[in-house]
Structure 1
């Protein structure tokens, strides 16, 4: 077999087992996602047997996991051949791909999410959102509902979603405008994600919360006619199906992902699953008419702002 065929064979090895093999501590965060105690930005999708490290952007299969995180344990994992050989040996030792893992600690109950400290004001939120052309009334609504506030230590934007008035999903966004820094919390409920409920029969789904707010801005006169869900990626789509199950009034799903390879692939996959599992749901697909995502479309095409340096900090 050539190296590509060998790597394809290694994709069968259970990533949670691999993480424990390498000395990490897997921690369950939802029915589909496992994080690591040592790296709370890592999410392993147990359905697809893939991972993503949100702090670095690294993602992929077991070999990619070795090359991204295994290097902490052994620098030889930088070499693709070595990483493939390592996983191949693990498969030989454990042909069923699953073993009893002594250091695999699974939480049966989630811990309560602890909100980051509030800053004294929300000035940087307003500056940031103004630069991203988000309507001021919508920003005020998010703040008034405690869906958004400014974090004290780094002045990050903190987005909070609630279930039964209890925080269940928190994500932070940095104030460097185009760096797209995001921080998620290991006890987040990824069956919920960031959900804004206007008791509508139509659910709009986006990759990012700022894209959600952009669509609200673009439809300012009627945005409350829809409910909204940001899954904060292209992979946490389980929240879509859960929200449909939990909100039987939903009859329409509008997928509004990025106009790039990842967004298009995710849209196709999610639409197919929705049509298979929820045939009563009407699925509508639309991509930004210009630019990669809905916020860029709002900023650069609709508001026609000049593109800034990617390291501009909003003060």
Structure 2
């Protein structure tokens, strides 16, 4: 169990329990020497705690740690910072989690104490009265910017995303009870995002949520713009004068929300899983897989004989069946054999996505792929006795089928990750590797196999003289490698004015020079980013210098004094380059800036850990 402190509308039990069902009211209290302020954040304003001379009403909750993950729905990471306080209360010292707005001077209760408030009517009335003043903007001499209410946020997140996207002209393809969003970017056409009513999930990047988050991530909108778009121009209610008619409308809306399905609960009805009817022949299946995809006939026949590959009767689609360890069908995917329907793929209604298309062998080796076609292509390319090994297609990049397979197949010791050679595949490979190590698998026995082209079927096409899609490096890895090379060249020229200056300043001030100069460059970079000049050379110079000095500080603190300085430097940047994982490098710019500030505070103690910290944020 963990403790959570709230000082806003989520002091109400029924409100918090909508998001965190396990939440139990532990204590009503007042935070000494604080004041509650509304602060501007981009185009909106949110409440936050600051140093003051008042007692701010608050509530401490006791809840399951797993429920903390749901708090993002209330306190989005781009606006709030999660922190922990050790609070001295009448019930002892509590380690409480609290969310405070970013980029503002926030308060810490004086002497780490809170004033306990007994659960009596007068104190409940005090909290209610204070919040009535704050939310309606009636406090004397204080004006607040209008805010969206939680009810409006809930309403936005209840938007039917499928209908909304169709109205915006987006291309959606219906697949059973859900839709697939077809979109294009600089890397080509994609169909990795599934949409079902007010929920979405990006299988490639393994993230999802509700409409508000979709608008922010897919369209790059800020919070206020996304809200206005989803509510069709509806203005914020908080801070505006309300009349009796508006109050009545709000009450009606509250009742509607209470009676409706909670948007934060995952109560998706489960349809019955029924395999499509099998055709009496498989001519189209063999013609497509052998002539268009160049798969080996005997390999394809092996899967057909296992009854996990067949031709559908109604449309002649290929059906890939996913089974459990006992051979029971749990899931299936249909793929078109028609050239004009290129890319058509549909998951059969009621499928259990924990199971993937697979071949279960008796050996200790498992080969993991994105798609069933890639799996069979790889076996075709091997051209050997393959049946003793195990093969699994994830039908995307979710780790669920892999984890379920390993749970069922205890004989697996060696895992070969054979995902596509593109940005999404590179990220997923790193993520799967980390998940497996976390689960206790030996990192030395988790290996990456790269196709010579974008995927294994493209490689098979190339071997048959057909033009194939080339492998695609990750743009972030390319940029990281370029930065590492620049730093290596910079340090190799020991007679340059910069290197002489760095050495001279270090001899004067020691380690503190690195940290103080990083702080100066950081402030300069912040100013240049806000200024937004077309000339980016000064900004790039500041960033490169910060990276260089961060590395100097890292190897200095690690204390590899027995090695020459240049060797220590080169070794450190090589370690960082090897450790870099793009899937972990997803933070928004404001979050990166905050992390760098935290790291600089951390470096004051010179407690540097063996991980790429400051440099990984550049």
- The aligned length equals 270
Secondary structure in structure 1 of the residue aligned to 2:410: coil
Is 1:102 aligned with 2:239?
A: no
Q: Deviation of residue 146 (structure 1)?
A: 1.2
Q: Deviation of residue 86 (structure 1)?
A: 5.6
Is 1:285 aligned with 2:448?
A: yes
Distance 1:255 1:195 in 2: 14
Distance 1:11 1:213 in 2: 47
Residue 158 of structure 1 aligns with which residue?
Answer: 319
Secondary structure in structure 2 of the residue aligned to 1:158: strand
Q: In the alignment, is the contact (CA less than 8 A) between 2:374 and 2:457 conserved in 1?
A: yes
Q: Deviation of residue 159 (structure 1)?
A: 0.7
Q: Deviation of residue 9 (structure 1)?
A: 3.0
Q: Deviation of residue 233 (structure 1)?
A: 0.6
Distance 1:37 1:153 in 2: 15
Give CA-to-partner distance per residue, 1:111-145, whole Å, 9 cap, x none.
Answer: 54211122232111111111211000011111121
What is the root-mean-square deviation of aligned Cα atoms in Å?
Answer: 4.3
Residue 312 of structure 1 aligns with which residue?
Answer: none
Instruction: Tell me which structure has the larger Cα radius of gyration.
Output: 2
- Tell me which of the two structures has the higher relative contact order, counting C-alpha pairs closer than 8 angstroms and 6 or more residues apart: 1
Residue 118 of structure 1 aligns with which residue?
Answer: 278
Distance 1:24 1:189 in 2: 23
Within the candidate set 331, 335, 357, 1:169 is matched to 331
Distance 2:305 2:419 in 1: 27
Distance 1:53 1:232 in 2: 9
Q: In the alignment, is the contact (CA less than 8 A) between 1:201 and 1:250 conserved in 2?
A: yes
Is 1:304 aligned with 2:447?
A: no
Within the candidate set 370, 388, 394, 1:225 is matched to 388
Which segments of 5 or more consecutive residues in structure 2 lack a partner in the other structure?
1-40, 44-75, 82-149, 163-174, 181-192, 239-256, 470-618
**TM-score by structure 2 length?**
0.38
Within the candidate set 291, 303, 308, 1:142 is matched to 303
Q: In the alignment, is the contact (CA less than 8 A) between 1:200 and 1:227 conserved in 2?
A: yes
Distance 1:128 1:275 in 2: 39
Q: In the alignment, is the contact (CA less than 8 A) between 1:203 and 1:227 conserved in 2?
A: yes
Which 10-residue stretch deviates more, 190-199 or 206-215? Answer: 190-199
- Relative to structure 1, the CA distance from residue 196 to residue 86 in structure 2 (aligned partners, 3 Å threshold; closer, same or farther) is same
**TM-score by structure 1 length?**
0.70
- Relative to structure 1, the CA distance from residue 21 to residue 2 in structure 2 (aligned partners, 3 Å threshold; closer, same or farther) is same
Distance 2:80 2:200 in 1: 9
What does residue range 204-243 of structure 1 map to in structure 2 within 5 Å?
204-234=367-397, 236-243=398-405
What does residue range 1-315 of structure 1 map to in structure 2 within 5 Å?
1=41, 9=78, 21-23=158-160, 38-39=177-178, 43=194, 51-52=201-202, 62-63=211-212, 65=214, 82-85=225-228, 102-103=260-261, 106=267, 112-130=272-290, 131-163=292-324, 164-177=326-339, 179-234=342-397, 236-280=398-442, 282-289=445-452, 291-300=453-462, 302-306=463-467
Give CA-to-partner distance per residue, 1:237-268, whole Å, 9 cap, x none.
Answer: 12212221221110011000000000000001
Distance 2:454 2:259 in 1: 42
Distance 1:137 1:146 in 2: 14
Which segments of 5 or more consecutive residues in structure 1 lack a partner in the other structure?
26-35, 70-76, 94-98, 309-315
Distance 2:259 2:363 in 1: 45
- Relative to structure 1, the CA distance from residue 207 to residue 307 in structure 2 (aligned partners, 3 Å threshold; closer, same or farther) is closer
